[in-house]
Chain A
């Protein structure tokens, strides 16, 4: 237990789903106040605030949040890093505490997306009288549909299909089964946006969005917020025993971006940066994938979950299909993955996701996950990836 160990002492999230009566700041305030209450500390003790929000990235949501929960004059870092925004906000809080700038940090991720539709889709450009090349490709109009797709369901469909081309064994049915698992898991999660179990047939016969992803195989746009309080070792020791007992150790906290690889300009490479982040995290934590009791990974689409089994080294290289078919990632399997329901079923309020998936691990390590508790869980990993790309991996351990 080194002096630079960082602990989570407070963690909470709002229900994911539709919150028509609350704005972004309401949701952030709700999650923040619940996390502070969970930690049993006052906002006056918090020395740094990292706030993630993607859809209003220039709006200073952190300061807006302070106006509603307390203006203490501490430094605020408003961050935006695609789907890794929440994990990035937490990284900021952890780094500030690690650097010795403060003993207590708070991270918040919040998004309102219900009804936002498909992200990455752009409306048609205004018609011009003459062809006008623009942008770095000198394109005469939107390239969407003319030169493949840049819309998320299609991009991530191709990520899964590429894996299939490389290693074989994938099929529409296999990807649908991954979704069946996550929709089954979320029936036990009262905070999930969707808590309805789908049969494999229902999933396969639903509206096709981008083959092989049907609608239930895509992450659900919804509203939500999650917040977390982190402290250093010294601060933890000064806190009441009941706080210390529930504290969860952050054994690794890693953020990577996508290094250059051949073809990454054509199909974003979500694999290398995830593998790099996982390798660094396992090294930092001094543990391996075999030690993990549960994993929350970024299943923004069913096709994405498959490749991350491999990228996070939960299986042999190329062995993700066999890993899934062995039953391992089901909640009663050898390596439960996305017992919260994942992004497909718990929902994906973008900037909240990277903190909410860590919150899920915290709940299990504390033994407070209720009906969906993975018994005896002591080590967990949370992963997010934002296209562009940014990847966050956190490994948490129960120590007390």
Chain B
């Protein structure tokens, strides 16, 4: 584990985020890297901007609420889950919809949802992993 990650775990009270772009603040939020030149937003690490090729980025917080613009109910494993694209004030976010029946009766296009977090459990050192999803408002 890198020094930066250790530092982050200490600062967040023995918690670690499932992905780098989930920021365990109060309240937690998703953070994108925005190209300072063209405004394109990325959740993963980029060497340069895929849109304008520049290489300077700044961190921006993503809105906590959004609208489901697409979804699928994936039923290939033992537990079905709802995969969705959520439009958070103009930024698309990929996520799993939580706290909803995985059925087209309950999941609909245009549905309003908000960010939520949940525990994935602790590792052998007692560090708790926190994941995110979106849930119906």
Contacts and interface: CB of A to CB of B under 8 A. Distances in A.
A147 B94 contact: yes
Contacts of B76: 118, 121, 151, 153, 209-210
Interface in B1-49: 1, 5, 16, 18-21, 40, 42-45
A42 interface: no
A148 B96 contact: yes
Contacts of A146: 18, 96, 131
Interface of A: 118, 121, 128-133, 135-141, 143, 145-149, 151, 153-155, 157-159, 161-162, 164-165, 172, 208-213, 260, 262-263, 265-267
A138 B20 contact: yes
Nearest to B75: A208
Contacts of A209: 74-76
Interface in B54-91: 69-77, 79, 81, 83-85
B19 A147 contact: yes
B50 interface: yes
A165 B110 contact: yes
Contacts of B43: 137, 265
B51 to A, nearest CB: 4
B44 A165 contact: no
B116 interface: no
Interface of B: 1, 5, 16, 18-21, 40, 42-45, 50-51, 69-77, 79, 81, 83-85, 92-96, 104, 109-110, 120, 123-125, 127, 129, 131-132
Contacts of A149: 72, 74, 81, 83
B92 to A, nearest CB: 4
A158 B86 CA distance: 12
Contacts of A138: 19-20
Contacts of B84: 148, 158
Contacts of B40: 260, 262
A130 B124 contact: yes
A354 to B, nearest CB: 25
A208 B77 CA distance: 11
Given A140-B18, A260-B51, A265 B42 contact: yes
B100 to A, nearest CB: 13
Contacts of A153: 72, 74, 76
A174 to B, nearest CB: 13
From B20, B74, B127, name the one whose CB has the most chain A CB atoms within 10 angstroms.
B74
Q: Is the interface of A mostly helix, strand, loop or mixed?
A: loop
Given A260-B51, A262-B92, A265-B43, A129 B75 contact: no
A141 B120 CA distance: 10
B69 A147 contact: no
Contact of A266 (B77, B94, B120, B129): B94
Contacts of A145: 74, 77, 79, 81, 96
Given A136-B45, A148-B94, A210-B83, 20 more contacts: A118-B76, A129-B123, A129-B124, A130-B1, A130-B127, A140-B120, A141-B18, A145-B79, A147-B132, A148-B84, A148-B85, A149-B72, A158-B84, A162-B70, A164-B109, A165-B70, A209-B74, A210-B75, A210-B76, A265-B50
Contacts of B123: 128-131
28 contacts: A130-B125, A131-B127, A136-B44, A137-B19, A147-B18, A148-B83, A148-B94, A148-B95, A149-B72, A149-B83, A151-B74, A153-B76, A154-B72, A155-B72, A158-B71, A158-B83, A161-B70, A162-B70, A164-B109, A165-B69, A165-B110, A172-B104, A208-B75, A209-B74, A210-B83, A262-B92, A265-B43, A267-B70
A140 B125 CA distance: 15
B72 A158 contact: yes
A237 to B, nearest CB: 46
A218 to B, nearest CB: 10
A8 to B, nearest CB: 36
Closest 9 CB pairs of A and B: A138-B20, A157-B72, A148-B83, A263-B92, A211-B73, A162-B70, A149-B83, A136-B44, A266-B92
A145 B120 CA distance: 13
B95 A140 contact: no
A172 B107 CA distance: 13
Contacts of B79: 145
A131 B72 contact: no
B94 A267 contact: yes
A139 B18 contact: yes
A137 B20 contact: yes
